Chains A and B, each alone.
Chain A
Amino acid sequence: AQSVSQHNHHVILSEAASLELGCNYSYGGTVNLFWYVQYPGQHLQLLLKYFSGDPLVKGIKGFEAEFIKSKFSFNLRKPSVQWSDTAEYFCAVNVAGTASKLTFGTGTRLQVTL
């Protein structure tokens, strides 16, 4: 079964700092990869997803993620964070081509200070 690790549990950054959140997955086959965000008091929202093709995926609100197959990683990046990026971020994976479950990491709480 697949699993996901997010090593950063709580990250505090100042506005305009660069962001990189780590995500590693464990599965030997082809996977689909996702990043979700949950702003305080709001629903889970999809930031971006990777299925195939260009390993550098661009999402909403200036976020991007790079799939590095050799490292089983799908790290989330943003060049310059804003206070409004304060939220919890979840990496998730499912097995490509099946009606399968989405497995989430434990999440990273990002706090952006002014």
Chain B
Amino acid sequence: SQTIHQWPATLVQPVGSPLSLECTVEGTSNPNLYWYRQAAGRGLQLLFYSVGIGQISSEVPQNLSASRPQDRQFILSSKKLLLSDSGFYLCAWSEFAGTGYTFGSGTRLTVV
């Protein structure tokens, strides 16, 4: 069966420090991968999605970037974190047709 792993679960980072959040999927190949950010009262905002290795689409301009170095690995990064980057980050995957999505357990990022 397919599983999605996301880590770390919580992270506290100082302003200006780098960020790397990792997400991996098991049990499937060539998944679509997504990074969402969840903020209170704003639902889930799509940040990036990828339909293949090295293919990244950005949905909103921001201080973050994403990479997909392997088929089932999706990384969210920042060179210098801002206070406004604090939030709950969710990774998700779907098959090509987009008829089902599975979400990871999320990372609570606090920038101090």
Which A residues are within 8 Å of any B CB, using their own CB? 6, 9, 32, 34, 43-44, 46, 49, 51, 90, 92, 94-107
Contacts and interface: CB of A to CB of B under 8 A. Distances in A.
B83 interface: no
13 contacts: A34-B101, A44-B90, A46-B100, A51-B99, A94-B98, A98-B97, A98-B98, A99-B98, A101-B59, A102-B92, A104-B36, A104-B43, A107-B43
Q: Looking at chain A's contact residues, is the secondary structure mostly helix, strand, loop, or mixed?
A: loop
A54 B108 CA distance: 39
Contacts of B99: 32, 49, 51
Contacts of B100: 46, 49
Interface of B is mostly: strand
Interface string B47-61: 001010000000100
Interface residues of B, number: 25
Contacts of A103: 46
Nearest to B104: A43
A95 B90 CA distance: 21
Nearest to A95: B98
A102 B90 CA distance: 13
A44 B102 CA distance: 8
Given A43-B106, A99-B51, A32 B98 contact: yes
B97 A99 contact: yes
A114 to B, nearest CB: 25
